[in-house]
Amino acid sequence: MFSFLNWNGFAPATPAGVTNYTALATDPIFLTALKNTAIWVVLFGGISFLGGLGVALLFQSERRGVGLYRTALFLPIVFSLVVTALIWDTFFQPNGILNTFLNAVGLHSWTHVWLGDPNTALYAVIVAALWREIGYVMVLFIAGLKAIDPAVLEAARVDGAGAFQRFFFVVLPQLRNVTLVVVSVIVIDSLRSFDIVWAMTGGGPFHSTELLSTYMFSTAFQTRALGYASAIAVVIFVLALAVIISYLVRALSEEKES
């Protein structure tokens, strides 16, 4: 309802009709935030999914020492996003760990102002967010892998199925329900990503790391355009709903076909 109003939080609200929504279409900062959010969903979501699945397959067995690696990968999830941001902000500083390492190994030309360059800032923040997300996705996939009957995999192996065939035709179909949960979690996490971006860059430099969530926050609490911020919030909700519903429809249709 607030998205159809002009309101700064203090003065009486006035009706705005759909002007808040039409203004979004010509707002360059909103369009930049929308583009950055799409990049975030694709890169953060895709790498989280593939990385989490990869390490889950690697560490699903109960070999000696595997538990230590699992714990190390899951450990970042216990840190708050602000703490994670502080760690990675130190890592990417001009005199931080990354540039110090590059100088130490003679790669002086590779040093960079990672968070100060509009061309690299968004990708640096995505790396920081991935550090926290991959371990969480790994745990979800390991739970799904543990539920697969070993007899099914053994039967496929006896029938002559290779490792790739067992993965694509036995393991992946068995992970359908877990995959649905993982995709939903990743999409929601992608679209609500705020803390780590705000703590590391505040949406800068020059809006190069501006996401819909950070733009909504700054619009609501810095420029105090609460109606406009509400319209951005509605866009975020619709995008999340559209992605999840489209994946649900596809997953259900594939299940019926199988």
Comparison of pLDDT for 251 and 203, the residue scoring more: 203
Query: How many residues would you count in the chain?
Result: 258
What's the confidence (pLDDT) of residue 89?
94
Q: What is the CATH number of the domain that holds 253?
A: 1.10.3720.10
Amino acid in position 160 = G
Chain Cα centroid distance, residue 129: 7
The pLDDT, as a whole number, for residue 32 is 97
CA 153 to chain centre: 32
Tell me the C-alpha distance between 200 and 90, whole Å: 10
pLDDT value of position 258: 61
CB 228 within 8 A of CB 30: no
pLDDT of 236 above 80? yes
Q: How many domains does the chain have?
A: 1
By C-alpha distance, which of 32, 9, 6 is closest to 19? 6
Q: Which residue has the higher pLDDT, 88 or 254?
A: 88
Query: What is each CA distance from 36 to 49, 186, 236, in whole angstroms?
Result: 19, 16, 13
Q: Which two tokens stand for residue 97?
A: 């760990």
Residue 199 has pLDDT above 90, yes or no: yes
| Structural domain that includes position 101 | 2-257
The pLDDT of residue 220 is above 70: yes
Residues forming beta bridges with residue 161, ordered by sequence position: none
Read off the pLDDT of residues 98-118 as tens digits, 9 standing for 90 and up.
Answer: 999 999 999 999 999 999 999
So what's the pLDDT on residue 212? 95
Where do runs of H (alpha helix) occur along the chain? 19-24, 28-58, 66-74, 81-92, 97-104, 121-146, 150-158, 163-166, 172-174, 176-191, 195-200, 212-221, 226-257
